[in-house]
Amino acid sequence: MYYIGIDLGGTNIKAGVVDETGRILTEAYTKTLARRPYEDIVRDMGACVNMAISSAKVPVEGVASIGIGIPGLADAQSGRVVFCTNLGWHDIPLREEMQKYLDRPVVIDNDATVAGYAESIAGVSQGCDCSVFLTLGTGTGGGIVIGGRPWTGMHGIGSEIGHMTLAADGVPCTCGNEGCVERYTSATAIIRMARELCLTYPDSMMMQRAGGDIDRINAKTVIDAAKAGDPAATEAFDRYCRYLAMTINNIIALLDPDMIVLGGGVSHAGEFLLRKVREKLPRFLLYKNMPYARLELARLGNDAGIIGAAMIGKLAVEL
C-alpha cells in the first residue's frame, strides 16, 4: 500500500506518495497563499495529492490514508484544525474538506510531531523507542515519540517544548508568558542575542556582513561569523548553545529518551552546533556517570514533513 503525506506550511503546500518504508516516490508542490478561504487551500492540497499519485503511477486504490502535518493544533478525534495561526485558521473541518478530493482516512497532527516521527521511522532516530525532536526555527517546536509512536499527550496539547518555562520571569514571549524555551533556543533567540552583543561590539564581523544594518543580522550571519572566529558572534553562539543544553537537560531529567534530534534552521550549523551543545550538556546533567540520550542532527530535512505525515496516516489505518 501507499500513503499520502501532506506538509501544509504557511508558505508552501507539499504532497507526496510514500511507501510503507517511509520512502517518497513522488512529490508535488504549490504556494499556500495563506489567508485565502480554507476551501481554496484544501482544493490546492487535493490537486497536489492527485498530481503526486498520477506521477507515481500507483493506482488510486493502492492509497490507504492521508496524513497532514500542520503548523498548529488539530483535534485527533474530529479531524478538525483547532487553530493554525499562520493560516488564520480556527476550527476548520480539514478532514471532511480533504475527503472531498480523496476519500481516505485523514489524520492531522502538528508539524514538529510529524517531523520527529519521520526521523524515528526513516531518519536518524530510526529504531529508537523514545526520542525527542527539536525544531530550532522561528520558534522552537517539539516532536515526541514514546513506544515508537508519536506522543502529543492525553489532550493533544503536549510536546510544546518551546513554551516550557526555562527562565522564570525571563524574556517576554509571544505566547503571553515569560522565559519560554523558545525565547532562548529558536533562530529568533540567537538573532536577539547577537544583536544585543552588536550594540556593545559595533565593529563585529556580524555588523560588517550585515552591511552595518543590525536588522539584517540573521541566524546564518551569526553562525558564519562564529565559525570564522568573530568574538561577539562566538559569544552569542555560546550563550545560545548553553540555553539549548539546559533545555536538553530538562528533557532528559523528565523523559530520559534514547535520542534527542536537532532540526530546523539553526541545525544547519551542523557539527559546529552539535559539538558545542554536546560539550555544554554534561555540566547540567544530574547523573554525571550514567548513560544518557544521544544528541544528533536531523537527517530527513524538508522531506520529514511529507514522510512523517504519511506515516501517521499509516499508523492510524493499522491500529
Between 169 and 271, whose beta carbon lies closer to its own copies?
169
Question: How buried is 19 (Cβ within 10 angstroms: 0-12 exposed, 13-18 middle, 19+ buried)?
Answer: middle
Q: Which residues make up the interface to its own copies (CB under 8 A)?
A: 73, 82, 129-130, 142, 144, 146-147, 151-161, 163-170, 175, 177, 179, 184, 243, 246, 249-258, 283-284, 286-287, 290-293
The least CB distance from residue 102 to its own copies, in Å, is: 29
Inter-residue contact 3 to 64 (CB < 8 Å): yes
Give, in order, the Cα–Cα distances in Å from 239 to each of 184, 186, 232, 233, 277: 9, 12, 11, 10, 10
Distance CA 284, CA 296 (A): 18
The least CB distance from residue 232 to its own copies, in Å, is: 20
Between 123 and 142, whose beta carbon lies closer to its own copies?
142
Between 215 and 290, whose beta carbon lies closer to its own copies?
290
Between 152 and 204, whose beta carbon lies closer to its own copies?
152
Between 25 and 82, whose beta carbon lies closer to its own copies?
82
The least CB distance from residue 181 to its own copies, in Å, is: 9
- The amino acid at residue 122 is A
Distance CA 175, CA 270 (A): 29
Kind plus residue range of the DSSP H or E element containing 298: none
φ, ψ at 185 (rounded to 5°)? -130, 0
The least CB distance from residue 274 to its own copies, in Å, is: 20
The least CB distance from residue 76 to its own copies, in Å, is: 12
Q: What is the SS3 assignment for 302?
A: coil
**Cell numbers standing for residue 147:** 513506544
